[in-house]
Amino acid sequence: MEQNAYQIKNWIQKFQTLVALMLSSQTKDQITAEVMGRINSLGLTPFKFSKMSLKDIQNIIYPIGFYKVKSKYIYSTSNILLEKYDGDIPNNFKDLLELPGVGPKMALLAMKIAWNETVGIAVDTHVHRLSNRMGLVKSAKNPEQTRNQLESWLPKEYWSSINHLLVGFGQQICTPISPKCSQCLNTTLCPYFLENKPSR
């Protein structure tokens, strides 16, 4: 009985991990956390979401960014998970990508968080920007080009940590506008700083 309860808890956690990733896009972390707290307290599962109206789902996930579109993603994904995976989430990158609203970054993070498997580098806007700015990649035009270039030279043992490191750095120091170069320890190696540092 205990093992069965553990399996159910693990199954719900994996599903809610996927939902959290879907909701986090274009949404502040604090809002995502608040909404996920609501979802967790309600014990929402693919089965429960599949029985809800889109309006009910919207009311639960509001004020998530693009909540109307994401409510459709959650509803459709819940039904697919029930039909194809017995309510669990896919255990591979390819099948995760086929779920509505799930892109490469989300699928890779889901593989790492839910299945503890690192199969690629999750590239979001911060990783994409910093990789180009710091010369880690060469003129990558989109996150997938950045991912492919990073994976071509960065040892796999570092794939799971680079997202976490660069996201925090990009949020606090190497910001999109007016990066805080005076607080950065990488200035002697950074092409952006060397090209834009004030002349003496």
Residues tagged active-site: 105
Tell me the C-alpha distance between 94 and 92, whole Å: 6
Which residue carries 């593989």 as its tokens?
A: 111
User: What distance in Å separates the CA atoms of residue 42 and residue 157, rounded to the nearest whole number?
Assistant: 37
Q: What is the DSSP string of 7-19?
A: HHHHHHHHHHHHH
How far is residue 188's CA from residue 95's CA, in Å, rounded to a whole number?
43
Which DSSP category does 156 fall into?
Answer: G
How far is Cα 126 from Cα 116, in angstroms, rounded to an integer?
23
